[in-house]
Amino acid sequence: MGRAIIATPVPACAMTLNVAPHLLAPKAPGRPRATRRSTFYGNLRRPLYPVIKSESVDPVRNPYAPGAGQRPPELAGRDRELQQFEVVLERVARGRPERSMVLTGLRGVGKTVLLNTFKSMAMQRLWGTGKIEARPDQSIRRAVAAAMHMAIRELAPRHRAPERIEDFLGVLKAFAMRDPSAAKGTSHWSPGIDVPASRGRADSGDLEIDLTELFVDAASVATDLGVGIALFIDEMQDVQAADVSALCAACHELSQSGGPLIVVGAGLPHLPSVLSASKSYSERLFRYARIDRLDRAAADHALIAPAEREGVEFTQEALDALYTAADGYPYFVQAYGKVTWDLALGSPITADDVRLAAPEAEAELAVGFFGSRYERATPAERDYMHAMASIGDEPVATAEVAEALTRKPSSLSPARDSLIKKGLIYSAERGLIAFTVPHFGKFLRAQPV
């Protein structure tokens, strides 16, 4: 495709009236057919010309989506989890005993995206749904109240007995108002519910009792409609210890009564141990699904399928090079895919295009994916991580890190604990720690100490 820009003299009035120049230009016989570039406001399109190196791999149509929770153009390699969740939904709706699901995995592996997909699946079945993102410094009470409010709002228009909804909203309001931070006057959050708060239900101030009562009541509203309610909790490892315990107890109670309400979680790999430290029966409440990097076929599919929809192909060598670079990690697949597309000269995208794009993709990852996390660490925490990285990429023994830093293990506990709290490392097994961010060791080794 030619890249010539046809400069037609534009009358001054076209500029001031903001009229598309081509509409005013005389239609010269034999003038080239209007193309995508010359049909719209010429002055606006011009800055894009240097960016658009090829019509077929036009950056504007770049399908890849690196970003936190960004919906990928193709959800590759997650069929097993999707099928499992279908079964969970169906069984719960039929009142059958079923464990809920908890997704675990490293940073950028696709937990949030999968959780959002589960939410869409529940919504397709007309369930009520709500989602929260846990924060280490906050009780979940207020967030759960807002999420349950969303879930009930989804169900309300289909419910034949408005008083049942109102009763529940009264309980929900009472539950929300027991938020300790609201009581201290530090918060003016109002749940936006017009009905008066009810008394004597979900308002004891004990989160375990209140959550149980709230869940039982919500489940009974959903039962009226023959559907269920799903509460999704992202970054579940950040739920405070007391709240985890209350949440597990409420789920336990609900699983015994067979109420159609499930709590679906996602978090870092140590989430199962956080849950079992709180309640020993948590393993019987949740089915843990470890979300891992994509295998070769799935990683290729994640790249090929969206490109195909835009009429673009990859050579086999390009796919080989992309797999080597991204190592199957979904975030990296999107990041390398995006830059490679932007820099490619045309279709098919070749291994040379990937080679050209790799340094730019790495630089973007160094700033956005790794750097933003590294910045959050204090100097002592950085030393700790550098020591971990110098030992290797496998989980390392905390004693070994202390040795590398020539320090006593106990003196390093504060740095280690705050890194765990910040979600940068996790305790893989007893005495072993690892990075939550894939390839973080490699990134650190490339940094000046």
Binding site for Mg ion (CB under 5 A): 112
Could you say which residues in the range 62-81 bind ligand ATP, by CB under 6 A? 65-70, 72, 75-78
331 binds ligand ATP (CB under 6 A): yes
293 binds ligand ATP (CB under 6 A): no
Is the Cβ of residue 77 or residue 130 nearer to ligand ATP in the bound state? 77
Q: How many CB atoms lie within 10 A of CB 281?
A: 13
Closest Cα partner for 139 from 244, 271, 276, 269?
244
CB of 110 to Mg ion, least distance (A): 8
CB of 267 to Mg ion, least distance (A): 9
Is the Cβ of residue 107 or residue 178 nearer to Mg ion in the bound state? 107
Q: Which of 21, 110, 191, 269 binds ligand ATP (CB under 6 A)?
A: 110
Which of ligand ATP, Mg ion, none binds 331 (CB below 5-8 Å, type-dependent)?
Answer: ligand ATP
330 binds ligand ATP (CB under 6 A): yes
Whole-angstrom Cα distance, residue 416 to residue 414?
5
Which of ligand ATP, Mg ion, none binds 62 (CB below 5-8 Å, type-dependent)?
Answer: none
21 binds ligand ATP (CB under 6 A): no
Q: Could you give the C-alpha distances from 254 to 57, 90, 127, 132, in angstroms and in order?
A: 52, 17, 17, 20
3-state percent breakdown (helix, strand, coil) of the chain, nearest 5: 55, 10, 35
Which of Mg ion, ligand ATP, none binds 326 (CB below 5-8 Å, type-dependent)?
Answer: none
Is the Cβ of residue 140 or residue 344 nearer to Mg ion in the bound state? 140
Closest Cα partner for 346 from 100, 54, 44, 151?
54
Closest Cα partner for 319 from 334, 335, 299, 338?
299
302 binds ligand ATP (CB under 6 A): yes
341, 57 Cβ separation under 8 angstroms: yes
101, 286 Cβ separation under 8 angstroms: yes
Residue 134 corresponds to which amino acid? Answer: A
User: What tokens were used for 256?
Assistant: 């015994």
Is the Cβ of residue 24 or residue 82 nearer to ligand ATP in the bound state? 82
**Tokens 């003299």, located at residue:** 9
Is the Cβ of residue 112 or residue 282 nearer to Mg ion in the bound state? 112
**Under 8 Å CB-to-CB from 50, ≥6 apart: which residues?**
none
DSSP letters along 324-349, please? HHHTT-HHHHHHHHHHHHHH--SSSB
109 binds ligand ATP (CB under 6 A): yes
265 binds ligand ATP (CB under 6 A): no
- Helix (H) / strand (E) containing 143: helix 141-155
Closest Cα partner for 389 from 314, 351, 349, 439?
439
126 binds ligand ATP (CB under 6 A): no
Q: Could you give the C-alpha distances from 129 to 111, 124, 151, 231, in angstroms and in order?
A: 17, 10, 4, 6
CB of 116 to ligand ATP, least distance (A): 8
Closest Cα partner for 262 from 117, 153, 122, 141?
122
Residue nearest to Mg ion (CB): 112
Is the Cβ of residue 197 or residue 291 nearer to ligand ATP in the bound state? 291
Is the Cβ of residue 303 or residue 402 nearer to ligand ATP in the bound state? 303
Q: Which of 21, 42, 63, 105 binds ligand ATP (CB under 6 A)?
A: 105
CB of 89 to ligand ATP, least distance (A): 20
Q: How many CB atoms lie within 10 A of CB 12?
A: 7
Is the Cβ of residue 111 or residue 131 nearer to ligand ATP in the bound state? 111
Residue nearest to ligand ATP (CB): 110
Which of Mg ion, ligand ATP, none binds 108 (CB below 5-8 Å, type-dependent)?
Answer: ligand ATP
Which of ligand ATP, Mg ion, none binds 140 (CB below 5-8 Å, type-dependent)?
Answer: none
Is the Cβ of residue 112 or residue 117 nearer to Mg ion in the bound state? 112
* Adjacency order of strands within the sheet including 432-435: 396-397, 432-435, 425-429
Is the Cβ of residue 130 or residue 330 nearer to ligand ATP in the bound state? 330
CA dihedral 395, 398, 404, 408 (to 10 degrees): 180
Is the Cβ of residue 175 or residue 443 nearer to ligand ATP in the bound state? 443
Q: Could you give the C-alpha distances from 113 to 63, 265, 330, 381, 439, in angstroms and in order?
A: 16, 12, 10, 30, 20
Q: Which of 63, 93, 101, 111 binds ligand ATP (CB under 6 A)?
A: 111
CB of 337 to Mg ion, least distance (A): 19
Could you say which residues in the range 382-401 bind ligand ATP, by CB under 6 A? none
**Under 8 Å CB-to-CB from 57, ≥6 apart: which residues?**
312, 341, 342, 344, 345, 346, 347, 349
Could you say which residues in the range 26-65 bind ligand ATP, by CB under 6 A? 65
CB of 425 to ligand ATP, least distance (A): 13
DSSP letters along 201-224, please? SS-SS-HHHHHHHHHHHHHHHHHH
Number of residues that bind ligand ATP (CB under 6 A): 24
Q: Which residues are at the interface with ligand ATP (CB under 6 A)?
A: 65-70, 72, 75-78, 105, 107-113, 302, 330-331, 333-334
